[in-house]
């Protein structure tokens, strides 16, 4: 099972542990990170804050958002919480307007919120299909539509969507998840072409197997089999995904758009 955006890392909301930190000056920029209450979203938010961005944390769980915000502030960063259901258009519009009003601008959007409801196709319910597509694909669409307006006015923006290798090669038991992530790749490339003339880039990061509580629950034997499939012979770390996002949101990445950066240890080649 391929896992990424919304799986909590053990001991969260602790700081991202990265022994060789990439440094990008994001001072004065405002970044929105969805699914920021745990897992990859938390790591991405902490990484952007550590590089100077004021981070707007978005997720449904207000308590967990507050904990992540407190950890960022304790480390010297700037963060504000904005609870939101990313699948609801009115909520997304209101939250983006609130972020822009409170923080004054909107420079970076990272669409990371996502869910899995895994089962084989013959057993998948309509509700399991709809829930995954609503969060993983409709959510990024709603946030990009809302965030593109202030970005176009400023003639600057960076959008990064967290996809998955499941959306590139498929994965048994994840027809809903794989479809949502494949759709997100197509959406990313189209939005990139629409917004490039306004100096807004739009790219995707596609994680492979990333260390998390969920992957740990697979047990040592299955994890060993997973690692055998990965040429790097290990799972990825949350900070490695966060740093790929950081690279794409950097001002110097202005000529990189409509791309999918695969971070999977060489698994899909």
**CA 249 → CA 40, 93, 137, distances in Å?**
16, 22, 21
Give the model confidence (pLDDT) of 145-156 as tens digits: 999 999 999 999
pLDDT of residue 213 exceeding 90: no
For domain 30-262, the CATH class is alpha beta
Give the model confidence (pLDDT) of 59-68 as tens digits: 999 999 999 9
pLDDT, mean over the chain: 93
pLDDT average, residue stretch 175-180: 98
pLDDT band at residue 222 under the 50/70/90 scheme:
confident
Active site residue 255: no
Q: Residue 197 is encoded by which pair of tokens?
A: 């003339």
For residue 140, how far is the Cα from the chain centroid? 10
Separation of alpha carbons 201 and 195, rounded Å: 7
What is the domain partition of the chain in residue ranges? 30-262
**CA 265 → CA 24, 234, 262, distances in Å?**
24, 8, 9
Separation of alpha carbons 77 and 221, rounded Å: 40
pLDDT at 184: 98
Catalytic pick among 141, 177, 209, 239: 177
* Contact status, residue 231 vs residue 61, Cβ threshold 8 Å: no
**CA 43 → CA 18, 52, 94, distances in Å?**
10, 15, 25
Separation of alpha carbons 194 and 254, rounded Å: 15
pLDDT at 16: 53
pLDDT at 17: 55
């Amino acid at each position: 099972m391929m896992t990424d955006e919304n799986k909590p890392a053990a001991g969260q909301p602790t700081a991202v542990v990265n022994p060789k930190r990439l440094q990008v000056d994001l001072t004065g920029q405002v970044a929105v990170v969805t699914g920021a209450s745990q897992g990859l979203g938390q790591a991405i938010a902490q990484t952007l804050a550590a590089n100077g961005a004021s981070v707007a944390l978005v997720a449904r769980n207000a308590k967990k958002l507050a904990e992540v915000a407190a950890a960022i502030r304790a480390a010297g960063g700037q963060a504000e919480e904005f609870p939101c259901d990313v699948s609801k258009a009115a909520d997304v519009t209101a939250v983006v307007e609130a972020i822009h009003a409170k923080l004054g601008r909107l420079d970076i959007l990272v669409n990371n919120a996502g869910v899995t409801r895994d089962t084989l196709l013959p057993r998948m319910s309509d509700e399991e299909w709809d829930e995954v597509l609503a969060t993983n694909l409709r959510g990024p669409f709603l946030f990009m539509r809302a965030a593109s307006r202030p970005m176009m006015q400023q003639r600057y923006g960076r959008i990064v969507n967290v996809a998955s290798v499941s959306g590139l090669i498929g994965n048994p038991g994840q027809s809903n998840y794989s479809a949502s992530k494949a759709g997100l790749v197509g959406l990313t490339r189209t939005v990139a072409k629409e917004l490039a003339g306004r100096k807004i880039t739009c790219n995707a990061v596609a994680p492979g197997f990333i260390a998390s509580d969920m992957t740990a629950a697979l047990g040592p034997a299955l994890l060993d089999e997973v690692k055998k499939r990965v040429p790097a012979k290990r799972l990825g770390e949350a900070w490695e995904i966060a740093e790929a996002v950081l690279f794409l949101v950097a001002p110097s990445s202005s000529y990189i758009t409509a791309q999918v950066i695969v971070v999977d240890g060489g698994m899909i080649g």
